[in-house]
Amino acid sequence: MKTASRSRRRWSATALDNDILKVLSERTDGMTYVIRNILAKGSQRSPGSDLKEWRGITTAHVLTACRRLQRAGDLEEEASNYLTQKCWKLSAAGRARASGAAPAAAAA
């Protein structure tokens, strides 16, 4: 009997983090599922966008990346009207990283 091997799609954490920062730099804030939807629909973006298409990405992947960015100080969790949905916004360090500038801590 032949066993089917499950192929798991592996994404680069750095590329996902950078694209999440780009999405949030264009918005004031965003729920986790909204960020996921924007990333997954790469073909419907405006021409000239440098975001990758993250076909097949789940909300859990985005949530894990947002928590990683929160620990790094790039994102902040914002108050939401919903109990189970998380809303994210860029911190000052995240805005500097999204714009390509060096963080203030590294410059000092």
Q: For the chain, how many structural domains are there in total?
A: 1
CA dihedral sign of residues 50, 44, 75, 56: negative
Predicted model pTM? 0.76
- Residue 37 maps to a domain: yes
Sheet holding 87-90, edge to edge: 30-31, 87-90, 75-78
Token reading at 46:
């405006």
Q: Which of 55, 5, 15 has the alpha carbon at shortest distance from 23?
A: 15
CATH number (domain holding residue 76): 1.10.10.10
The stretches of 1-108 forming alpha helices (DSSP H) are 13-25, 32-40, 59-72, 92-99, 104-107
Whether residue 108 is contained in a domain is answered as no
**Average pLDDT, integer, range 59-81:** 93
Q: Tell me: the pLDDT tens digits for 72-84?
A: 999 999 988 888 8
